[in-house]
Structure 1
Amino acid sequence: MPVKCVSQVLTNFNCKAMNYSCFIGIDLSKKTFDVSIISPEREELNYFQLPNTAAGTRRLVKRVHELCIPLSKILFCAEDMGELAIELCLASQSAGFPLALACPLSIKKSAGICRGKSDRIDAYKIACHASLHHRNLRLYSLPEPALTRLKLFITLREDLVKSKKRFSSVDTTLIESGKIADTGEHRQVTKEQLDLLDRQIKHVENCMLECLKESPLLYRNFRLLRSVKGIGLLNACLLICLTGNFTRFENHRKFACYCGVAPFEFSSGTSIRGKNRVSKLGNKQMKVYLTSAAQAAIMHDDQIKKYYKRKLEEGKHKGTVINAIRAKLVARCFAVIRRQQPFIAMLA
């Protein structure tokens, strides 16, 4: 498709008010990415497909230069697809163009009623999302290398823990089967594998600590988080990763919404659809870790313990009280980071 004359399309457009002269939506896949370039009036100016490689991103920048618009006046937007977006993110930093990585679910929910699906349609939807919500989108910047390594170690540890659970389940089965036949050799194999996994998990945890020590700011925030009773190594590391070392979220309330521990009202007119409840769209990984933190806090924090017992005596549901404690821990974590002082427990 030939490139349209941008000056004609943007005749009545106030660039100063909108900041960007056009928007580019990029639909990422493993081998290729589709590009849709639209005007602020959401008219498609151009569409093409390129390989999802370093060479492909260089060709993208070259094609965009044909628009004769400074790169700083063009907003690139793609879905946050993890490793599929790495080449695009690196190109953004090297070429200096603004890039926003949007939540795929946000794009899907804001697209309205859709009929049909193709890579070109998806790229156009992403561009429209950038056009409508560009003032609320956060521009991408490369994270610290230590933060990236820390995320990978967390993922690796979770995989090792899952493998340990599988072998533990096999060992339990062998114990029961040992009542019928000799399973000594089988159990020896599983025992060796479990011992190996224990050593690997411990090694990964040590590596996580070394990653934190590579960055003074990361390590300082980590030690502040550990001052909150209930927040251990894994909770602290995951909090640092998900918040971008506490730069992605303005306050603890927004992070509580992100984790799925903030209750919301469900009503319409005079109809009240049940009690306030949390959303199912929260980050389940962080929610599970916060549940463990809440249980630890109930055991070791006198103030939390008395709060927990008091609410149960008032007739509150156990799950509701646990969720409130999760929210309290999130608030405490953000407070110690904001004040840059360790948490000091008040008299219960």
Structure 2
Amino acid sequence: MFFMGIDVSKAKLDCCLLLDVLSNKRRAKSVANSKTGIADLLAWCTKQQVPVHELHAILEGTGVYHEQAALVLSDASATVSIVNPAQVKDFGRSLGVRTKTDGVDSFVLARYGALLNPRAWTPPAQEARALQALLSRREAIAQDLQRERNRLEKADATDTPPLIRQSLVDSMAFLEKQLAKLQQEIDGHINKHPGLKDDRDLLTSIPAVGPQVSHHLLSVIHNHDFQSAEQLAAYLGLVPVERQSGTSVQGRPRLSKAGPARIRAVLYMAAIVGTQHNPHIKALYQRLQERGKTKMSALGAAMRKLVHLCFGVLKTRKPYHPNYAI
């Protein structure tokens, strides 16, 4: 197996092909971050006498600019791994690498793949990618609508010309129509695909899990390969991080908050509802408060419990049962 580190940017891909792990013999190439550029990269690998099916490409999961390269390489039968940038950064420090350039970063990624052999990435289904795109667009429209509402509120509180106020009203009306249309598209898309529809029905069987929570979790779970509920909670940034050492360092545990913030915001509101209407979450929340935990700490545990329940109903393929294990 030949390992290739690919440092991704918006315009280009800086690649380092590791030909020999022991001697660090390598070749470097930079191509455009486009389908044509990736085709040139595959042709270059063939010239280096590296069969595509023996190529293991390692990319960092940053933004969206790595997605096209990952999909094209995977379709070409190469093994692709998408790794955590923070872990690669720490790995580079362990090698004594202090310089940061695109070429050095690609070499560190190649060494990371050769020494740790990260798990292969499985491309998500087309319907999962489409759902993610629809939800991202809906989120963007909702944010634009809220900004316009804030501007209208300020306009009402000041001496604003009627033309500007009418412009804000018209803009809000347009965004509201777009938001309703996108929500209709999202519902129709899920109903059209049995896998998404069945999973949504299982998720919404849990008290406190409504359409927004179920749609966001559907997108996350169907676009990633989680082996356990702990992995899903860690991706969403809901695992506690402790900072204690000896007697002098006694930091308060906090959530890692490493995942998408917008999903945590939705889960936070759902957890508040769950403390009143979901028997599992309510029991956990009350137990933690009786032990002296703060309200925010107990809510963080409630969010994590909610995610575990969601993973559980999808794993067992059984709807939520309020008396299970209580």
**TM-score, length-normalised on structure 1?**
0.83
Higher mean alpha-carbon deviation, 162-171 vs 294-303, is at 294-303
Give yes or no for contact 1:260–1:280 (8 Å, CA) kept in 2: yes
User: Given that residues 230 and 293 in structure 1 are in contact (C-alpha distance below 8 angstroms), is that contact kept between their aligned partners in structure 2?
Assistant: yes
**8 A Cα contact 2:14 2:30, kept in partner:** yes
Which residue of the partner structure matches residue 248 of structure 1? Answer: 225
The alpha-carbon deviation at position 35 of structure 1 amounts to: 1.5
Classify 1:300/1:191 alpha carbon distance in 2 versus 1 (closer, same or farther; 3 Å). farther
Which amino acid is the alignment partner of residue 56 of structure 1?
A: G
Q: Deviations over 1:207-242 (max 9, x none)?
A: 111222232111111111111122222211221222
Q: Distance in 1 between matches of 2:194 and 2:138?
A: 23
**Structure 1 residues 109, 176: closer, same or farther in 2, change over 3 A?**
same
* DSSP-derived class of the 2:57 partner: strand
Q: Residue 299 of structure 2 corresponds to which residue in structure 1?
A: 322
2:92 is equivalent to residue 111 of structure 1: yes
- Pick one of 156, 159, 165 that aligns with 1:175: 156
Shift of the 234–67 alpha-carbon distance from structure 1 to 2, 3 Å rule, reads same
Q: Distance in 1 between matches of 2:86 and 2:112?
A: 11
CA RMSD, Structure 1 to Structure 2 (Å):
2.5
Contact 1:42 1:128 in 2 (8 A): no
Contact 2:45/2:51 (CA < 8 Å) preserved in 1?
no
Residue matched to 1:129: 112
Shift of 1:299: 4.1
1:32 aligns with 2:12: yes
Q: Map 1:1-348 onto structure 2 (within 5 A).
A: 20=1, 22-38=2-18, 39-41=20-22, 43-112=24-93, 113-134=96-117, 137-177=118-158, 181=159, 185-244=163-222, 248-269=225-246, 272-301=249-278, 304-305=281-282, 307-309=284-286, 311-312=288-289, 315-346=292-323
The amino acid that maps onto 1:329 is L
CA contact (8 A) 1:147 1:211 kept: no
SS in 2 for 1:84: coil
Q: Deviation string for 1:286-327 (max 9, x for gaps)?
A: 221210111222343355446545644554311011111101
Displacement of 1:79 = 1.9
> Which piece of structure 1 moves more, 94-103 or 309-318?
309-318
Q: Which one is further off, 108-117 or 267-276? A: 267-276
The farther-off stretch of 82-91 and 229-238 is 82-91
AA of the residue aligned to 1:46: R
Give 3-state SS (helix, strand or coil) of 1:114's partner.
coil
Question: How does the TM-score come out when normalised to structure 2?
Answer: 0.89
Corresponding residue SS for 2:82: strand
Q: Which moved more, 1:123-132 or 1:139-148?
A: 139-148
Query: How far apart, in 2, do the equivalents of 1:299 and 1:199 lie?
Result: 34
Larger radius of gyration: 1
CA contact (8 A) 1:57 1:87 kept: no
Gaps of at least 5 residues in structure 2 are: none
How much has 1:185 moved relative to structure 2?
4.9
Closer, same or farther: CA 56–269 of 1 in aligned 2, 3 Å: same
Range with bigger deviation, 198-207 or 276-285 = 276-285
Does the C-alpha gap of structure 1 residues 42 and 88 become closer, same or farther in structure 2, counting only changes over 3 Å?
A: farther
Q: Residues 34-76 of structure 1, C-alpha deviation per residue, up to 9 Å, x if partnerless?
A: 2111122260321122222222222222221234344333311
SS in 2 for 1:168: helix
Distance in 1 (alpha carbons) for counterparts of 2:59 and 2:78: 13
Cα deviation code 1:13-46 (max 9, x no counterpart)? xxxxxxx2x2111112222212111122260321
Aligned residues with identical type, % of pairs: 24
- More deviation, 270-279/290-299: 270-279
SS at match of 1:231: coil
Q: Which ranges in structure 1 are unaligned for 5 or more consecutive residues?
A: 1-19
Q: Using the TM superposition, name which of 287-296 and 332-341 deviates more.
A: 287-296
Deviation at 1:337, TM superposition (A): 0.5
TM-aligned CA distance change 1:73 to 1:318, over 3 Å: same
- 8 Å contact 1:76–1:98 — kept in the other structure? yes
- CA offset digits 1:146-186 (Å, max 9, x no partner): 11111111111111111111111112112222xxx475554
Query: Matches of 1:182 and 1:264 in 2, distance apart?
Result: 49
Name the CA distance, whole Å, in 1 between partners of 2:114 and 2:262: 31
Q: 2 CA distance for matches of 1:228 and 1:130?
A: 40
Preserved contact between residue 281 and residue 305 of structure 2 (Cα < 8 Å):
no
In 2, Cα distance between the equivalents of 1:53 and 1:300?
49
**Counterpart amino acid of residue 35 in structure 1:** C
Give distance in 2, aligned partners of 1:124 and 1:187.
55
